[in-house]
A and B are shown apart, each in its own frame.
Chain A
Amino acid sequence: MSQAINQIQDEIIDEFSMLDGDMEMTISYIMELGEQLPEMTEANKTEDNIVKGCQSKVWMKAGLEDGKVEFEADSNTAITKGLVSLLVRILSGKSPQEIIDADLYFIDKIGLNRFIGTQRSNGFGAMMKQMKIYGLAFSTKTQSA
């Protein structure tokens, strides 16, 4: 049984609270998280897998294994890679329905909006939307199977 979405979000909130809102420390931490993101297969870094709406390049792909959605992602910028790694950590290994229902409150709680700014948060929004779309697609597929 994987950790619940909210449990992971709470863990992340705890981790970021230790950084005390310091912008430089936060960016360093986000970059570290990005470095830990499992490598995305080069073959999957295609035009089709680019998330539209991000200032920097983000690739994302998902597959369904035993009823759980597994996400793969990468970015050509270190900070965005860190940001997307947070989403992968929270939503990977969850059922399509859990992903559809997920309320990603950690963004507000860790003040990520303040850190990532409007344009960049739109990109972040695009990543979240893409993950929800995957959730929805897999859910439809599972139901019709």
Chain B
Amino acid sequence: MSNTLTDHHIDVERIRKEFQVLDQEVNGKPLIYFDNAATNQKPQRVIDALVHHYQNDNANIHRGIHTLAERSTAKFEETRKAVQEFIGANEAEEIIFTKGTSESINLVASSWGRKFLNQGDEVLISAMEHHSNIVPWQMICEERGAILKVMPINEAGEIILEEVEQLLTEKAKMVAFNHASNTLGTINPVKKITKMAHAVGAKVLIDGAQSTSHLEVNVKDLNVDFFAFSAHKMYGPTGLGVLYGKRGILEKIPPYQGGGEMIKDVSFGGTTYNDIPYKFEAGTPDIANVIALKKAIEFIDELGKENISAYEEELLSYATEQLSAIEGLRIIGTAQEKVSVVSFEVEGIHHFDLGMWLDAKGIAVRTGHHCTQPLMDHYCIEGTARASFAVYNTKSEIDTFVSALKDIITKFK
């Protein structure tokens, strides 16, 4: 079977050459890495950028006037510009670097929430949220006396829009949900829900952790107020995230943390804050990782989001078809629109056992509740095994995975 889908201009063999990590054996078998929704692998150019920075340019940014500081600062700000273009923001100042999606959401919940949430106000999240888009809202709602409501989902794992309509009243101040679900793969109708939320005056925050490496993201077109995502789920480094916010809102909300860089003037009598985005970037940021993120964006841009989506869609439907044919296997999350994530359970086999057996065969999948415990409760399950694909995965890897699963199932009979 050919792994090169020329129709989509994805030459997977060439792509795989950029990922040395894939070329290894695990437990004596060639590694098959299907845990991309947790974090994906990094192309050599990203790793090289990190090494290059520390070997040649390392300096703190924004304050130094020496050459290395200038170089580091320029490259750091180049990435901000690249991120702006990558997600279609109006200006680079709307891009804030954080530690990750979780910190981005915490920043909004804490900063926007303290300013704008009051007693009796409502925050809507969906039933398929990751804990990082549940807990910060629970915390701020408790603090401000606001109410957290949940947009329900159907059996396929899709938000029920009619119910959202009922839930959205003028009391709603924030609607926060993911672009794509890390557990189910569901792609949510961001534009539709955003329009509905804006109609009642609510703001919208999108958790884009699972969408930025798979789907076209244009924050202007989506018209969302905040968009949070992580570098490490889009072929970039770990420990780095982005928060996009509309200028008008970012200017109105207070800083999240105090420290260096986020101030204009400090005296013991008081402090005036810096402009956006620096107001939200207290302390020395993750300079090397930010610089390397630009290379990840270039990697995605070179391949083209459209090509990536089409290729991954093909992997997803192939895997879905193969897995559905296995007796006793049930796929959790069967939405019409999905990113390349397949969560499943096998009758009579605990997902923990499945994960360990697959690892013994060199196949990395995720098992457990995927930090979406309320979603597990919805399906009345403890957890699933989850295979999630990236652009370097192949159909022949799926074949190996499927036959490994069949073999494992026989061991439990």
* Contact surface of A with B, Cβ cutoff 8 Å: 22-24, 26-28, 31, 55-56, 76-80, 120
List 27 A–B pairs whose Cβ atoms lie within 8 Å, in order of A's numbering: A23-B27, A23-B28, A23-B359, A23-B360, A24-B357, A24-B360, A26-B360, A27-B356, A27-B357, A27-B360, A28-B411, A31-B411, A55-B352, A55-B368, A56-B350, A56-B352, A76-B350, A77-B350, A77-B352, A77-B353, A78-B349, A78-B350, A78-B353, A78-B412, A79-B352, A79-B356, A80-B352
Q: Enumerate B356-372 residues with CB–CB distance to A below 8 Å.
A: 356-357, 359-361, 368
When the two chains form their complex, are residues B353 and A79 in contact, meaning their CB atoms are under 8 A apart?
yes
By beta carbon, the residue of chain B nearest A24 is B360
> Interface size bucket, B side?
10 to 19
Residues in chain B near residue A23, CB distance under 8 A: 27-28, 359-360
**Bound-state Cα–Cα, A120 to B355, Å:** 12
A45 → chain B closest CB, angstroms: 15
Residues in chain B near residue A27, CB distance under 8 A: 356-357, 360
**Bound-state Cα–Cα, A56 to B349, Å:** 12
By beta carbon, the residue of chain B nearest A54 is B352
Residues in chain B near residue A26, CB distance under 8 A: 360
**Bound-state Cα–Cα, A23 to B363, Å:** 12
**Bound-state Cα–Cα, A11 to B182, Å:** 45
**Bound-state Cα–Cα, A106 to B304, Å:** 52
B102 → chain A closest CB, angstroms: 19
Contact flags B124-160 to A (C-beta < 8 A → 1, else 0) = 0000000000000000000000000000000000000
Residues in chain A near residue B361, CB distance under 8 A: 24
By beta carbon, the residue of chain A nearest B369 is A55
**Bound-state Cα–Cα, A70 to B41, Å:** 48
Residues in chain A near residue B360, CB distance under 8 A: 23-24, 26-27
Residues in chain A near residue B357, CB distance under 8 A: 24, 27
| 9 more CB-based (< 8 A) A-B contacts, given A26-B360, A76-B350, A79-B352 | A22-B28, A23-B27, A23-B28, A23-B360, A31-B411, A55-B352, A56-B352, A77-B353, A79-B353
Q: Enumerate B336-380 residues with CB–CB distance to A below 8 Å.
A: 349-350, 352-353, 356-357, 359-361, 368
By beta carbon, the residue of chain B nearest A80 is B352
By beta carbon, the residue of chain B nearest A76 is B350
User: Which A-B residue pairs are the 7 nearest by beta carbons?
Assistant: A77-B350, A23-B360, A23-B27, A77-B352, A56-B352, A24-B360, A77-B353
Residues in chain B near residue A120, CB distance under 8 A: 356
Residues in chain B near residue A79, CB distance under 8 A: 352-353, 356
**Bound-state Cα–Cα, A27 to B359, Å:** 11
**Bound-state Cα–Cα, A76 to B359, Å:** 19
Residues in chain B near residue A22, CB distance under 8 A: 28
Residues in chain B near residue A77, CB distance under 8 A: 350, 352-353
Residues in chain B near residue A31, CB distance under 8 A: 411
Residues in chain B near residue A55, CB distance under 8 A: 352, 368
Residues in chain A near residue B411, CB distance under 8 A: 28, 31
Q: Give the interface centre of B357, B361, B412 by most chain A CB atoms within 10 Å.
A: B357
**Bound-state Cα–Cα, A120 to B356, Å:** 10
**Bound-state Cα–Cα, A77 to B368, Å:** 12
B30 → chain A closest CB, angstroms: 14
By beta carbon, the residue of chain B nearest A57 is B382
A20 → chain B closest CB, angstroms: 11
**Bound-state Cα–Cα, A76 to B350, Å:** 7
**Bound-state Cα–Cα, A31 to B4, Å:** 40
B401 → chain A closest CB, angstroms: 15
Contact flags B393-413 to A (C-beta < 8 A → 1, else 0) = 000000000000000000110
**Bound-state Cα–Cα, A58 to B408, Å:** 22
Residues in chain A near residue B28, CB distance under 8 A: 22-23
B340 → chain A closest CB, angstroms: 25
**Bound-state Cα–Cα, A24 to B27, Å:** 9
A43 → chain B closest CB, angstroms: 22
Residues in chain A near residue B412, CB distance under 8 A: 78
**Bound-state Cα–Cα, A78 to B346, Å:** 14
By beta carbon, the residue of chain B nearest A25 is B360
**Bound-state Cα–Cα, A28 to B350, Å:** 15
By beta carbon, the residue of chain A nearest B349 is A78
Residues in chain A near residue B27, CB distance under 8 A: 23-24
**Bound-state Cα–Cα, A26 to B357, Å:** 10
**Bound-state Cα–Cα, A78 to B354, Å:** 10
**Bound-state Cα–Cα, A96 to B353, Å:** 32
Residues in chain A near residue B368, CB distance under 8 A: 55
**Bound-state Cα–Cα, A59 to B27, Å:** 30
By beta carbon, the residue of chain B nearest A28 is B411
